[in-house]
Each structure stands twice: as C-alpha cells, then as structure tokens.
Amino acid sequence: MAKSAFFQCLVLCRLISRPLMLSMCVLQVSYVIRDEVEKYNRNGVNALQLDPALNRLFTAGRDSIIRIWSINQHKQDPYIASMEHHTDWVNDIVLCCNGKTLISASSDTTVKVWNAHKGFCMSTLRTHKVRSRFHLRIPYLVVF
C-alpha cells in the first residue's frame, strides 16, 4: 500500500471512529488483467493526434496506453502498435518535429517524449506532483 494512501486511511478512520471503540479501515484493491498485446482502448480515450503525412492516428487512453492506428482504408486491421510506459491515464498528446516526436502528459504526474516512428520512450520529465495536460491554445505548454 502506498504511504500516502495509508495515512489517508488512518486519518479517515480517526474521523469516523468514536472514543473507546475499535475502528477498522477497509481498502478496496483492484487489479487489471491484460493480454500481452491489447489492440483496443478499454476505458476510453482522452485525446487524439493525427499524423496526416503517414496516415496515422495516435490515441491517448485511460488505460495508460498510447496506441497508433492506420487511417488507410485499405488495411484490414487498423491497429499498428502500442506505446506503454505511463502508469495512469494519458491525458493529452502532442505530435511535433514533423511527426517524429510525440509528447504525452499523464495523471501519473509525468510528461514523456516518444519516438513516434519507432514507438519508444526517449525521455521522462518528473518535476511535479499533480496530473498534467497541454495548454489549449499553446500546445507545447504543459499545464499542471
């Protein structure tokens, strides 16, 4: 159990317990069982980014995965690949550098820089403690 979750539970138990009574704190723990390669977004999509030069669509998923799709109508299976490195919702994505780089902002409090062609994480920024998104009017500005 995470340290902060333990202290939150402890504070909650103290608030609801009465003097001289035994208090109990119940935590709900959930697990997500996944296939090795999941082609489809399970919990919804927070952001889309189109790469018209290469006919690709990037989706930022609530399942912590960025997926790449082909928008070519002649492909039978539009799924291309997944980029997995976040541990919480991917809130926003921005494609830059002529489609070579993808930047993602997540509820796991990280901003990641990806190689959009090969699908690997090149760098991770961990300088804040809250979830992040990109600014609506200035797409390369991260909002915490």
* Distance, CA of 113 to CA of 52 (rounded, Å): 20
* Distance, CA of 133 to CA of 42 (rounded, Å): 21
**Residue type at position 57:** L
User: pTM of the prediction?
Assistant: 0.66
Same domain, 129 and 61: yes
Same domain, 82 and 118: yes
Encoding tokens for residue 35? 């296939």
Q: How many CB atoms lie within 10 A of CB 100?
A: 13
- In this structure, the strands spanning 79-84 and 65-70 are antiparallel
| Residue listed under structure tokens 């997944």 | 82
Count up the domains in the chain and report the number.
2
Same domain, 26 and 71: no
Mean of per-residue pLDDT scores for the chain? 76
What is the extent of the structural domain holding 136? 43-143
| Average pLDDT over every residue of 124-144 | 64
Q: In the prediction, which pLDDT does 10 show?
A: 43
Give a yes or no: residue 53 inside a domain. Answer: yes
Same domain, 22 and 71: no
| Residue listed under structure tokens 């006919």 | 55
- Whether the pLDDT of residue 47 is over 50: the answer is yes
